[in-house]
Structure 1
Amino acid sequence: MIKNIFKISILVCLITAGNLFSAGTTGFNFLKIGVGARPVGMGGAFAGLSDDINSIYWNPAGLAQLKNREMTAAYLSWLEGINSQYLAYAGPLKDNKGVIGVSINSLTSGAINKYDISGTLNGSTSAGAMAIGVTYAKGELMKGSKNLSGGITIKMVQETLADKSISVPVVDLGLLSKKAFSNNKMSLGVNIQNLGSGVKYINEVDPLPQNIKVGIGYKTNEKTMVCVDYNVPNDNAGYINAGVEYKLNEMINLRAGYKTGTDIDMGVRAGFGIFKNNVGIDYAYAGYGDLGITHRVSLNYMLGIVEKEKSNVKKVKKVKAKKEEVKQTEIKTETKKVEDNSEKIDKLCKKAELYYTRGKMKESLEVLQEVLKIDSTNKRARDLFIKISMQKK
């Protein structure tokens, strides 16, 4: 019974005005739970990087960077048997008209036993939440600023507790500059999350968990990306997310990060990603103090990248075949040239040898050079040439 009471307490904090993570009071607090194992593994610092489909949550402007269609499915094993599922798809529109994405984020508790005031089991109930969103992002927002992109996500958010439910529209806005500074290694992003009217629970109205994210991404070298986000929530003091991603090789990425603040979910984050051809899997670990550990797994799929790689492979093979053909033609030409001049080469070699026996080194070298112009691999001429050169030293 205690376990069920604890589970209900967590859900009430997420779904009603009570805020599990802060001293303030906001509604729809499940929107604070970050999605995607890659960003979470980097400590939740992603607003200034946002270079994949996870941008839908962390900074919708980053979706403009997508060159291929992408899909992701993520699963979060949260606290006390509460789970979260996330599904998203995004792809570029034709004629460089931007990138569009759709996403579904849900939180489920499963069956929760109900007890009356005396502690007697009185059936079961359930609780959950869902956000369905559409995202649009566009690069080159202004003329002459092709590194500046913008994005917007419009979500319909619903929460359910027992037989009660409530729905409200929510908006996220983002900006991203990929080369914000002169060194071209640093990017800057801003994301305003969860704009909208308040949430009315019976007679009370609570605000949405709005947050302003300002993030920086810095590429220290070809293998390492460092990110830092500063958050300004409307229900608590500001806090920092910091993280790093290291490319171990072409297939494996390692990640680590840290979240500051006074919430119970502050602390170390870690994870890794494995990507091969067009399929990737990401994992992230995050601790919640005495409440336990959470695990996130994301499965990512890039549509179209395989065809592109196959096309590139065909082009490379074609270039290699052409180079080999040219090489073989040159060898045949050289061989024929040697064969046609074999008698001439023999006479020149004898002439060079005669000069050498008579001590006329200069004249011998001149004749040998003539031989090597015809056949650069002629062993007879090369040996004598080296012998004379060594003697001159």
Structure 2
Amino acid sequence: MKTLKWMLMLSLVFVCLITFSQQSLYAQAGGSSVPFLLISPDARTSGMGEAGTAMTNDINAVYWNSAGLAFLDYFPKINEYDEYEEEKPFRQVALSFSPWLPQFNADLFYSYGAVGQYFEKLQGTVALNFIFMNLGEFTRTWDNGDVLGKFISNEFALSLAYGTIVAPDLGVGAQLRYIQSNLTPTSFSQQDAGTGRSIAFDLGILWRPKELPYIDDRLSLGFNLKNVGPKITYIKEADPLPTTLNLGIGMKAYQDEFHKLVFSADFNKLLVKRDSVDSDPVPKSFITAWENPGAVIAFGTEYTYEDVIALRAGYFHEPSVLGDRQYWNFGAGVKYSIFTLDFSFINTIEANHPLANTMRFSMLIDWK
């Protein structure tokens, strides 16, 4: 198991060196396929501006940074002074749902689920998750307008992740993902886009130093390289995956017996280099993507009272060359026994924005 840990660590170091080896000066916007992989799944992190790379303390770490799984080992004891109380290994289930682009009334929806457990023999936490995006029902017609039939488009991804501790304050994680995009049934015409498939992996690091001057153990730093893999291939074309570099910072600003206040911020860079003719493959795009301008900046805060009630707010900023999404996020949560319910919504700055009033609903279940 030690060999596995250090193989993971060496892989992460190698990727970091490649990613930061060059930064270019001039710009061209990049584009990618299957953007549903970049949609924030859970209401808690969404309510904090979608800044979750360094604030991963539940099973949703499987999406934001698989290295966060490394710190999910045992549930806290009910009585911390009872030395005979048996520690229970971490097991948790997450479910999320969001009606997508509600202003279009197109019956689009996004759903997500994850389950994970700590295994002492593996010295780490293993998690499974799925993402499903329903793109709605479409009518296929002939050139003369006659109806050929109806079909439903959707996209989904299935992932397996593992996170483990390599030092008392350092966790690493890796994830393997299968992706399928069902745009149109190939039975309609072999010349259409049809179904695209690909595989990808994530690599993550989470550092939680314990004895820093003045701030002790309140800081966390996260790194995540996400959706690294070959282009997704349809019948007649191949498009790059939304490979993304995520850098995050989290801070416990205040904590006492009843109150806790945390802040988080993320920097997200799309590592895709594409023009009107073709796109650069991985790993070349790790370097050439820095010729593209702009990056996503997200930050947020969460206040919790007695770990029972939570209030959240955040801001998400995407430059115009990447899509120009800019909005405030707000959310709340409540915990009762083994259940945690969270809610968030988007308040867009621009009027009549497609994402305006988008809501997310999430539930966590501690499987003790």
Scaled by the length of structure 1, what TM-score is found?
0.67
Query: 1:177 maps to which residue?
Result: 207
Unpaired segments of 5 or more residues in structure 2?
1-27, 75-89, 186-193, 273-291
Match of 1:27 among 33, 36, 46: 33
Q: Distance in 2 between matches of 1:266 and 1:120?
A: 41
Give me the CA root mean square deviation: 1.9
Corresponding letter in the other structure for 2:315: Y
Match of 1:48 among 29, 51, 54: 54
Match of 2:127 among 93, 101, 104: 101
Q: Distance in 2 between matches of 1:96 and 1:224?
A: 33
Aligned length: 279
Q: Once structures 1 and 2 are overlaid, which stretch shifts more, 271-280 or 108-117? A: 108-117
Corresponding letter in the other structure for 1:112: F
> How much has 1:209 moved relative to structure 2?
0.5
Q: Distance in 2 between matches of 1:243 and 1:83?
A: 25
Query: 1:148 maps to which residue?
Result: 170
8 Å CA contact 1:42, 1:258 repeated in 2: yes
Q: Distance in 1 between matches of 2:340 and 2:172?
A: 26
Match of 1:206 among 212, 234, 239: 239
Query: 1:228 maps to which residue?
Result: 265
Match of 1:71 among 83, 90, 93: 93
Match of 1:267 among 303, 323, 327: 327
Higher share in strand: 2
Offset from partner CA, 1:155-191 (integer Å, 9 cap, x none): 1111101212122111011000112744221110001
Corresponding letter in the other structure for 1:218: M
> How much has 1:94 moved relative to structure 2?
2.1
Q: Once structures 1 and 2 are overlaid, which stretch shifts more, 223-232 or 91-100? A: 91-100
Q: Distance in 2 between matches of 1:213 and 1:77?
A: 26
Q: Distance in 2 between matches of 1:281 and 1:120?
A: 47
Q: Distance in 2 between matches of 1:37 and 1:246?
A: 15
8 Å CA contact 2:197, 2:233 repeated in 1: no
Q: Distance in 1 between matches of 2:205 and 2:361?
A: 27
The answer to whether the aligner puts 1:189 opposite 2:219 as a matched pair is no
Q: Distance in 1 between matches of 2:324 and 2:295?
A: 15
The answer to whether the aligner puts 1:162 opposite 2:184 as a matched pair is yes
> How much has 1:221 moved relative to structure 2?
0.5
Q: Distance in 2 between matches of 1:257 and 1:120?
A: 48
Query: 2:340 maps to which residue?
Result: 280
Corresponding letter in the other structure for 1:149: G
Q: Distance in 1 between matches of 2:113 and 2:94?
A: 6
8 Å CA contact 1:265, 1:287 repeated in 2: no
Q: Distance in 2 between matches of 1:116 and 1:228?
A: 50
Q: Distance in 1 between matches of 2:29 and 2:334?
A: 38
Corresponding letter in the other structure for 1:102: L
> In 2 relative to 1, CA 146–49 (structure 1 residues): closer, same or farther, beyond 3 Å?
same
The answer to whether the aligner puts 1:243 opposite 2:300 as a matched pair is yes
Scaled by the length of structure 2, what TM-score is found?
0.72
Corresponding letter in the other structure for 1:285: F
Corresponding letter in the other structure for 1:70: Q
Q: Distance in 2 between matches of 1:257 and 1:118?
A: 50
> In 2 relative to 1, CA 120–268 (structure 1 residues): closer, same or farther, beyond 3 Å?
farther
> How much has 1:260 moved relative to structure 2?
1.0
Q: Distance in 2 between matches of 1:87 and 1:128?
A: 16
Q: Distance in 2 between matches of 1:269 and 1:94?
A: 38
Q: Distance in 2 between matches of 1:247 and 1:116?
A: 57
Q: Once structures 1 and 2 are overlaid, which stretch shifts more, 149-158 or 116-125? A: 116-125
Corresponding letter in the other structure for 2:223: V
Q: Once structures 1 and 2 are overlaid, which stretch shifts more, 89-98 or 272-281? A: 89-98
8 Å CA contact 2:250, 2:264 repeated in 1: yes
> In 2 relative to 1, CA 118–269 (structure 1 residues): closer, same or farther, beyond 3 Å?
farther
Q: Distance in 1 between matches of 2:225 and 2:301?
A: 23
Unpaired segments of 5 or more residues in structure 1?
1-21, 305-393
Query: 1:296 maps to which residue?
Result: 360
The answer to whether the aligner puts 1:62 opposite 2:71 as a matched pair is no
Matches within 5 A, 1:58-137: 58-66=64-72, 67=74, 68-79=90-101, 80-95=106-121, 97-117=123-143, 121-137=147-163
> How much has 1:247 moved relative to structure 2?
0.7
Q: Secondary structure at the match of 2:36?
A: helix
Match of 1:216 among 243, 249, 261: 249
Q: How much identity, in percent, do the aligned residues show? A: 28
Corresponding letter in the other structure for 2:263: V
Corresponding letter in the other structure for 1:201: Y
Higher share in helix: 1
> How much has 1:277 moved relative to structure 2?
1.1
> How much has 1:59 moved relative to structure 2?
0.4
Offset from partner CA, 1:66-94 (integer Å, 9 cap, x none): 22200011101101321111111011002
> In 2 relative to 1, CA 92–114 (structure 1 residues): closer, same or farther, beyond 3 Å?
same
8 Å CA contact 1:46, 1:215 repeated in 2: yes
8 Å CA contact 1:52, 1:65 repeated in 2: no
> How much has 1:203 moved relative to structure 2?
3.5
